Chain A
Amino acid sequence: MALIEYRDALNQAFAEEIERDPNVVLIGEEVAQYDGAYKVTRGLWKRFGDKRVVDTPISEAAFIGMGVGAAMLGLRPVIELMFWSFSTVAYDQIVNNAGQIRYMSGGLINCPIVIRGPANGGTNVGATHSHTPENWLAAIPGLKVVCPATAYDAKGLMKSSIRDNDPVMFMENTLLYGERGEVPEEEYLIPLGLADVKREGSDVSLIAHGRSALLALKAAEILEAEHKINAEVVDLRSIRPLDQDAVLNSVRKTHRAVLVDECKAFCGVSSQISTILMENVFDELDAPVKRVGSLDAPAIYSPAVEPLQLPTPQRIVAKVLEIC
């Protein structure tokens, strides 16, 4: 298997799907001639031309809404947000139009669109550019939300998202774009709604998604080396649909859970996971469910401090030690 960057895994997914389906079109700011603000789409404009890879003005509401309208006619637009934080200026198009059009038309209209881009903190760009809106958007029935942690997952999930007939909000991470991972030469798909146990363990379940799944893996190594605690890491990979069975099966095995993600814990993804645990495996739990999220304030700029606002392996370890 080739060892490639997360961004190139996505790039491969786009190229393969553009070749496979004439209705797939990449649209966004700087995606074509500039090769992508984060080089995720590099080379695709040269390879596929103006029709399939399209630069837009800085008009998120118009180009996302345009994608929704085009999707209604049968195109499969893959729309880049330079940052998911910029989705706020296009919220009506995402929530009301992409998210509700199928329902309000009684199932007459489909919206096979992918809206994608990075959604993370940790790059010292301040609160307006550091949102992690997977919990905002997973709260909207009609939308799907995907948060891959690795190059392998990113490619397989992107290909499934493009082929999906519902609107998929695909959240990447600027801190992961340069991370290398093994990606097979042959084609593969990863279904939405299928979690991945990234590390088997017996003492505690670390349930995470996105980059936090990688932080949980690092924490698990520390826990094993320094505390002889064998942690299991469950990567949700998609938030909606959610692989509830994987979460419950892991906790039935370990009887302890620490939920880790970059959302603020209040009304975050972990709030829902926690509720699911209470409702389904309360009697299996040997300790209260604990959570590690970003510290509950707007994202601070200070390069010295921002890393401490996000989940860290050390914070995860400390939380596990409270219950193990």
Chain B
Amino acid sequence: MTAAASTPVDYAKAPVNARLTSEEKISLLHEMVRIRRFEQTALKFYSQGKMGGFLHLYIGQESIAVGTVSLLGDDDHVITAYRDHGHALASGMGMNECMAELYGKATGCSRGKGGSMHFFAPDKNYWGGHGIVGGQTPLGLGLAYGIKYKGLKGASLCFLGDGAVNQGCFYECLNMASLFDLPAIYIIENNKYSMGTSQDRSSVVDKCLAQRGEAFGIEWEQADGEDVYEVRATTQKALDRAHNESRPTVIEFDTYRYYGHSVADAKHKGGYRKAEEIEKYKNEHDPIRIFKNRLVAEKVLNEEQYEAIDAKLKAEANESAQFADESAPPTVESIFEDVYYEVDHKTEAGKTGRFFFSD
């Protein structure tokens, strides 16, 4: 159980990274850039009024979703909160269905019913996308319960923010995960602000937030989230523990979001955090730049290849916006679809009694 290492460790040498092929390394970078280009494009069109609601951007945190999800197998599952675009894309969702969901279109991953905070792809073991802070933590527990009940060697990766650690149900979950020996991995992405409230003003901290797992006999680790190698090395230990011992882990990754809590958060720059702070993270701790430079140094990639990847993903993001823009919105009739399974499937149960009471 450790807080972040004080002496630098080269996580590239960790077995889980040492065995990566050049193609796999480039793929990690590709996925991070894919998230960033998707979100930058989303922001552009959000600003033009193409979508409604909130838009919680993950930009600055990409290494965590990509690094963790890159390790997962067929019986590992992912669930997260409302800052969910990164985890969705990292889980293999396409830009088109994600962008169309932001636009509220019928071609969206949730048929225009969920929006930014509610992306889902159960076929990719990705279970959302949940809007209530901390509310996904019992669902993550349940995924772990289901994995164990079915006798599978898998894990449930449940992501939460540093603000969510102060929700009571999270501790109910830690207790039960430990008590029931469940393969649940709670991953705190600590971007240092729960909306406009800094960690200093919201949480009592001894070593770090993950340390709270200690109260429940849960192994915990704090690590730097900016290095995708470190993310993978840290997460693999938790996965091994889940797979081999059916025991939970709490991981805390230090990270930073470049944008506000949501796009509507006007006070993030120069308000509750200084512009210099944001610039410092962008310049010195950007996970994409760090990994790109790393791969260039490793001679896995050159600048031209990187530019080509970036250009391709920029184009893909723009195409997804066009796809979303040209897609039809859901019909008014579809408001009543996807409420009840039995109604949608026209089963006998779905045809018995009145289900809707609009008039």
Contact A105 B122 (CB under 8 A): yes
Question: Does B329 make an interface contact (CB < 8 A)?
Answer: no
Known A70-B146, A193-B354: A106·B176 in contact at CB below 8 Å = no
Known A73-B142, A102-B338: A66·B135 in contact at CB below 8 Å = no
Contact A191 B145 (CB under 8 A): no
Question: Does B24 make an interface contact (CB < 8 A)?
Answer: no
> Chain B contact residues (Cβ within 8 angstroms of A): what range?
35 or more
- Looking at the complex, which one of A66, A105, A142 makes contact with B340 (CB distance below 8 Å)? A142
Contact A165 B338 (CB under 8 A): no
Contact B349 A105 (CB under 8 A): no
In B266-287, which residues have CB < 8 Å from any A CB?
none
In B342-359, which residues have CB < 8 Å from any A CB?
342, 344-345, 348-349, 352-357, 359
- Looking at the complex, which one of A112, A164, A194 makes contact with B353 (CB distance below 8 Å)? A194
Minimum CB–CB distance from A275 to chain B (whole Å) comes to 9
When distances are taken between beta carbons in the complex, the residues of chain A under 8 Å from B140 are 69
Question: Does A103 make an interface contact (CB < 8 A)?
Answer: yes
Q: Which of B121, B173, B337, B338 has the most CB of A within 10 A?
A: B338
Question: For residue B106, which residue of chain A has the nearest CB?
Answer: A106
In B304-359, which residues have CB < 8 Å from any A CB?
337-342, 344-345, 348-349, 352-357, 359
Question: Does B190 make an interface contact (CB < 8 A)?
Answer: no
Known A57-B176, A62-B172: A191·B342 in contact at CB below 8 Å = no
Question: For residue B334, which residue of chain A has the nearest CB?
Answer: A106
Question: Does A108 make an interface contact (CB < 8 A)?
Answer: yes
Question: For residue B142, which residue of chain A has the nearest CB?
Answer: A69
In A38-65, which residues have CB < 8 Å from any B CB?
51, 56-57, 59, 61-65
Bound-complex Cα distance A65 to B150 (A)? 18
Question: Does B183 make an interface contact (CB < 8 A)?
Answer: no
Question: For residue B347, which residue of chain A has the nearest CB?
Answer: A165
Question: For residue B145, which residue of chain A has the nearest CB?
Answer: A70
Known A103-B338, A110-B341: A65·B110 in contact at CB below 8 Å = no
Contact B352 A191 (CB under 8 A): yes
Q: Which of A110, A193, A238 has the most CB of B within 10 A?
A: A193
Bound-complex Cα distance A238 to B120 (A)? 31
Question: Does B210 make an interface contact (CB < 8 A)?
Answer: no
- The binding surface of chain A is classed by DSSP as mixed
A88-123 vs B: 1/0 string, CB under 8 Å? 000011001100011111111110100000000000
Question: Does B196 make an interface contact (CB < 8 A)?
Answer: no
Bound-complex Cα distance A70 to B146 (A)? 5
Question: Does A232 make an interface contact (CB < 8 A)?
Answer: no
- Looking at the complex, which one of A96, A112, A193, A242 makes contact with B135 (CB distance below 8 Å)? A96
Question: Does A295 make an interface contact (CB < 8 A)?
Answer: no
Contact A191 B142 (CB under 8 A): no
Contact A56 B176 (CB under 8 A): yes
When distances are taken between beta carbons in the complex, the residues of chain B under 8 Å from A57 are 172, 175-176, 179
Contact A104 B142 (CB under 8 A): no
- Looking at the complex, which one of B110, B146, B168 makes contact with A106 (CB distance below 8 Å)? B110
B155-194 vs A: 1/0 string, CB under 8 Å? 0100000000000110011011001000000000000000
Minimum CB–CB distance from A64 to chain B (whole Å) comes to 7
Minimum CB–CB distance from A116 to chain B (whole Å) comes to 17
A163-196 vs B: 1/0 string, CB under 8 Å? 0111000000000000000000000000111100
Contact A61 B168 (CB under 8 A): yes
Contact B340 A166 (CB under 8 A): yes
> Chain A contact residues (Cβ within 8 angstroms of B): what range?
35 or more
Contact B142 A66 (CB under 8 A): yes
In B227-258, which residues have CB < 8 Å from any A CB?
none
Question: Does B58 make an interface contact (CB < 8 A)?
Answer: no
When distances are taken between beta carbons in the complex, the residues of chain A under 8 Å from B179 are 57
Bound-complex Cα distance A272 to B132 (A)? 30
Binds A, one of B8-16, B30-38, B111-119, B291-299: B111-119
In A67-88, which residues have CB < 8 Å from any B CB?
67-75
Question: For residue A161, which residue of chain B has the nearest CB?
Answer: B349
Question: Does B89 make an interface contact (CB < 8 A)?
Answer: no
Known A61-B169, A193-B354: A166·B342 in contact at CB below 8 Å = yes
Known A62-B173, A75-B149: A193·B339 in contact at CB below 8 Å = no
Question: Does A240 make an interface contact (CB < 8 A)?
Answer: yes
Question: Does B147 make an interface contact (CB < 8 A)?
Answer: yes
Contact A105 B132 (CB under 8 A): no
When distances are taken between beta carbons in the complex, the residues of chain B under 8 Å from A279 are 359
Question: Does A141 make an interface contact (CB < 8 A)?
Answer: yes
Supply 22 A–B pairs (Cβ within 8 Å), ascending by A: A59-B175, A61-B168, A64-B138, A65-B135, A65-B138, A65-B169, A66-B176, A68-B139, A70-B146, A70-B149, A71-B142, A72-B139, A73-B147, A74-B146, A104-B129, A105-B129, A109-B120, A112-B341, A166-B340, A194-B353, A240-B353, A244-B353
Nearest first, the 7 closest Cβ-Cβ pairs linking A and B are A69-B142, A193-B353, A65-B138, A241-B353, A73-B146, A62-B172, A106-B111
Instruction: List residues of chain B with CB under 8 Å of any chain A CB.
Output: 77, 79, 108-114, 118, 120-123, 127-132, 135, 137-147, 149-150, 156, 168-169, 172-173, 175-176, 179, 337-342, 344-345, 348-349, 352-357, 359
Supplied contacts A62-B141, A72-B139, A243-B353, 20 more A-B pairs, CB within 8 Å: A56-B176, A57-B176, A68-B138, A69-B145, A70-B142, A70-B145, A72-B127, A73-B142, A73-B147, A74-B146, A102-B338, A102-B340, A103-B113, A105-B120, A164-B342, A164-B349, A166-B341, A191-B349, A193-B354, A241-B354
